[in-house]
Amino acid sequence: MNYIYDYNDLRGRIRAKLGSEQKYAEKIGRSNASISDRLNNKVDFTQTDIEKSCSEEVLDIDKTEVGHYFFTRKVELNSTKNNK
């Protein structure tokens, strides 16, 4: 089963710490397209991506916060139909 993750807080952390997704991509050794694919749930982040991202030199994410930034599932609202 593939999950859809909410990367809004990760995007915010990237902007706050590095200014752009392009700089983030450079810091972890990925292309802009690769980071875009990951942030848009087309490709999963690897363990190496996450380790590099959390380092002090990149996003400085504490190990207790990894789940918040990388594993928060996106909540989708289900529409209900009234059958009258």
pLDDT above 80 for 6: yes
Q: Over the stretch 15-29, which tens digit does the pLDDT of each residue have?
A: 999 999 999 999 999
Contact 35, 42 (CB under 8 A): no
Q: Over the stretch 30-64, which tens digit does the pLDDT of each residue have?
A: 999 999 999 999 999 999 999 999 999 999 999 99
Q: Could you give the CA distance from residue 31 to residue 29 in angstroms, rounded to a whole number?
A: 7
**What are the residues whose beta carbons fall under 8 Å from the beta carbon of 65, sequence distance 6 or more?**
none
pLDDT at 1: 64
Contact 36, 12 (CB under 8 A): no
CATH number for the segment(s) 8-70: 1.10.260
Q: Over the stretch 73-83, which tens digit does the pLDDT of each residue have?
A: 998 765 454 54
Among the listed residues 79, 83, 71, the one whose alpha carbon sits nearest the alpha carbon of residue 6: 71
pLDDT at 84: 46
pTM: 0.86
pLDDT at 77: 62
